[in-house]
Amino acid sequence: MSACFDLLHSDNLSSARRGVLQTRRGPIETPVFMPVGTQATVKGILPEALKEIGAQIILANTYHLFLRPGHDLVERAGGLHEYMNWDRPILTDSGGFQVFSLGDLRSIDEEGVVFQSHLDGSSHKLTPELSIAVQEALGADIIMAFDECIPYPSTREYTDESTALSGRWAKRCKQARKDDDALLFGIVQGGMFPDLRQRSAEELIEIGFDGYAVGGLSVGEGAELMYEMMEQTLPHLPVDAPRYIMGVGTPENLVEAVSRGADMFDCVMPTRNARNGVLFTGFGKISIKQARYREDREPIDPDCSCYVCRHYSRSYLRHLYQSNEILASVLNTHHNLHYYLDLMARMREAIATDRFDEFKTDFYAKRQPE
Amino acid sequence: MSACFDLLHSDNLSSARRGVLQTRRGPIETPVFMPVGTQATVKGILPEALKEIGAQIILANTYHLFLRPGHDLVERAGGLHEYMNWDRPILTDSGGFQVFSLGDLRSIDEEGVVFQSHLDGSSHKLTPELSIAVQEALGADIIMAFDECIPYPSTREYTDESTALSGRWAKRCKQARKDDDALLFGIVQGGMFPDLRQRSAEELIEIGFDGYAVGGLSVGEGAELMYEMMEQTLPHLPVDAPRYIMGVGTPENLVEAVSRGADMFDCVMPTRNARNGVLFTGFGKISIKQARYREDREPIDPDCSCYVCRHYSRSYLRHLYQSNEILASVLNTHHNLHYYLDLMARMREAIATDRFDEFKTDFYAKRQPE
């Protein structure tokens, strides 16, 4: 099942790994960060700019596109790639996470989930079969199994039952799959219970997927517990398949997850923070709205090579933010995504040259306390 | 005074003219449209994209930059060009129009205008001398004289007195000028009274400016009266100096003004309309939010060659607009400015090849009733 993944190199001091994920729209160098393009657009950045800063793949949200403009419309338009002018790979989530976090949940049973749209209150039912059909209609290159997202904290009993249900749904997702050229990933659940994580992983491996995601992390459990859950989960996954930590995270989270053997990530943090004026740098986050930047003629990060840092000062970016200008979001998004993608590129390089440990030491040494 | 302008060709069937305006940052081919960059940014478009679509010069608003971030700060940052990453010419308005339209006007006397900021209510005084100093601090390549903007309708008595005051202010602006490398334009007022327009023009010519603007149009008087005022004003201006119609207008307004001998224009219409989902095409305006475009796979304008029309459908642009996405404003702005700049380029070409009449017939023939 995992012929799609070539493990190129493993770090000798950590579990970090360098690989290549083959998709029908070309190879993806891992570890990789996937910018989030919720509504058929990565907010505030053009596809050409995404390519310029090295985005290899983006994520699109099935829940949002199912509701608006509708997967049927996107399919008739030639698929999501054509619709949004993006010809590199797209991974779609299953819609599960948003059904539970955004929709007004009505009921969940063995068959699926009934929810009301956050847009207009209309009632919809999402099942494993429909989730796969929607993702295939969108033309996703990587499709995620439909699962129940477990709130944090949850009891062992609830987590046990939910994880078992997600396991049965994962099997139905595999059976529902029609587009064999797309990759299908299963999602390990199990909450914060290591034995349930292990059982979930084993069930998914038994079913057999092209890759394996770890869901239900970064839900409020704190970084230490999250890292522990990664450690309790990743070793149970096949070494020759890609491993995707969903919805994670901060730059520190990415470095720690890579060092624990994770290959793929997505998170709204770089794009959402950008729109709120929070910018990532090698020395930590800065909030561009602060008065201290009023006349600061330095770029966001003097060590950054991105378009924004080459052409604009902190003073100008603060002015744009204070003036509620569209270019504030555009420039901040460009810089933050460049930071995330560059961070991944530097990790790939470090792993390939057996200097990941050195990279990590340097990464932490440069950061200033917030 | 008008050594800055080369009149290359005059149309034989109309008053349309093709010229080149020389500035310290290079030549500007006229007739020209200047995108409006109010707050040190043309809303929703990067400088590189502005260049790609052929923007030769942009306009910046003295009133806004005076209040935020402050012309002193911009000057210390190396000037507006450096601050906003734009190395082509910039024309600044005098601040007069915004003082009268945005500020909370306190008093106007011979010396100048006291007003309260629309941002924080703080009190400021703007005089002809300060307006020139602010524009020079910003580093403008073309500086506008400070004038009083006359409301429409206004009595002859009010218009007479106001126009005389603006004339005295124009003289003080010329005397206050220090940056001899920048061009200084006077502004003809006179409201809707042809003899006052003529007197204003003659006063300004007596003072002597590098170029002459026509202010106080497109203030609610209707297209026919506006065209009549152009006809009553432009012939009184030197044939060898650039003529700038301020704050105008629709595509039709531009064609009509060019045919009456105008060379320069600015207007927020293409950028503001873009953010409201109103798009310009060769067959007229369309409102992209309309349900009829929900699944329309055509580009905005099938005859348009811009980046947006080459890559995106009306359906996708409607989806972005309905979803309140940043890229809705970005893509719509790009298209609308391309339309305006391309319209000017086609007029320049038509004048140069003695086919302006043909161009104008074709321009109107393609438009559909709204």
Contacts of B7 (CB under 8 A, 6+ apart): B17, B18, B19, B239, B240
Instruction: Give the pLDDT band of residue A6 (cuts 50, 70, 90).
Output: very high
Active site residue: A11, A147, A263, A266, which one? A266
Q: Closest Cα of chain A to B57: distance in Å?
A: 19
Instruction: Give the pLDDT band of residue A92 (cuts 50, 70, 90).
Output: very high
Give pLDDT, residue B76: 98
- Note the pLDDT tens digit of each residue in B127-163: 999 999 999 999 999 999 999 989 999 999 999 999 9
Give pLDDT, residue B54: 98
In this complex, the residue of B40, B319, B330 whose CB is nearest that of residue A330 is B330
Asked if the model's pLDDT at residue B369 lies above 80, the reply is no
Asked if the model's pLDDT at residue A100 lies above 90, the reply is no
- Tally helices (H) and strands (E) across chain B: 15, 16
**Residue numbers in A near B73 (CB within 8 A):** 294-295, 315
Residue in chain A nearest B44 by alpha carbon? A326
- Note the pLDDT tens digit of each residue in A139-183: 999 999 999 989 999 999 999 999 999 999 999 999 999 999 999
Domain ranges of chain A: 5-266, 268-361
What gap in Å lies between CA A10 and CA B302, rounded to an integer? 52
Residue in chain A nearest B83 by alpha carbon? A316
Tokens matching residue B275: 């953010």
In this complex, the residue of A316, A319, A326 whose CB is nearest that of residue B329 is A326
CB B339 within 8 A of CB B273: no
Mean pLDDT of A47-72: 98
Q: Closest Cα of chain A to B315: distance in Å?
A: 9
Rounded to two decimals, what is the model's pTM? 0.98
**Per-chain mean pLDDT for chain B:** 96
Give pLDDT, residue A238: 97
Asked if the model's pLDDT at residue A310 lies above 90, the reply is yes
Would you call B68 and A297 a contact, using CB atoms and an 8 Å cutoff?
Answer: no
Q: Tell me, yes or no, if A109 is annotated catalytic.
A: no
Backbone angles phi, psi at A17, to 5 degrees: -140, 150
Give pLDDT, residue B2: 53
Sign of the Cα torsion B164, B166, B169, B174 reads negative
Active-site residues of B: which are they? 93, 266
Domain range A5-266, CATH architecture: Alpha-Beta Barrel (3.20)
Contacts of B329 (CB under 8 A, 6+ apart): A326, B43, B44, B274, B275
Instruction: Give the pLDDT band of residue A37 (cuts 50, 70, 90).
Output: very high
Would you call A77 and B315 a contact, using CB atoms and an 8 Å cutoff?
Answer: yes
Q: Closest Cα of chain A to B43: distance in Å?
A: 6
Instruction: Give the pLDDT band of residue B347 (cuts 50, 70, 90).
Output: very high
Q: The domain B5-267 is classified under which CATH number: 2.70.150.10, 3.40.50.720, 3.30.1050.10, 3.20.20.105?
A: 3.20.20.105
Three-state secondary structure string covering chain A: CCCCEEEEEECCCCCCEEEEEEECCEEEEECEEECEECCCCCCCCCHHHHHHCCCCCEEECHHHHHHCCCHHHHHHCCCHHHHHCCCCCEEECCCHHHHHHCCEEEEECCCCEEEECCCCCCEEEECHHHHHHHHHHHCCCEEECCCCCCCCCCCHHHHHHHHHHHHHHHHHHHHHCCCCCCEEEEEECCCCCHHHHHHHHHHHHHHCCCEEEECCCCCCCCHHHHHHHHHHHHHHCCCCCCEEECCCCCHHHHHHHHHCCCCEEECCHHHHHHHCCEEEECCEEEECCCHHHCCCCCCCCCCCCCHHHHHCCHHHHHHHHHCCCHHHHHHHHHHHHHHHHHHHHHHHHHHHCCCHHHHHHHHHHHCCCC
Question: A245 has which bridge partners?
Answer: A214, A265
In this complex, the residue of B77, B319, B326 whose CB is nearest that of residue A43 is B326
- Note the pLDDT tens digit of each residue in B238-260: 999 999 999 999 999 999 999 99
Mean pLDDT of B291-300: 98
Residue in chain A nearest B327 by alpha carbon? A44
Active site residue: A93, A210, A263, A342, which one? A93
Amino acid at B181: D
Give pLDDT, residue A370: 66
Asked if the model's pLDDT at residue B1 lies above 50, the reply is no
Would you call B325 and A68 a contact, using CB atoms and an 8 Å cutoff?
Answer: no
Q: With the CA atoms of A158, A160, A165 and A169 taken in that order, what torsion angle do they form, in degrees rounded to the nearest 10?
A: 130
Mean pLDDT of A249-264: 98
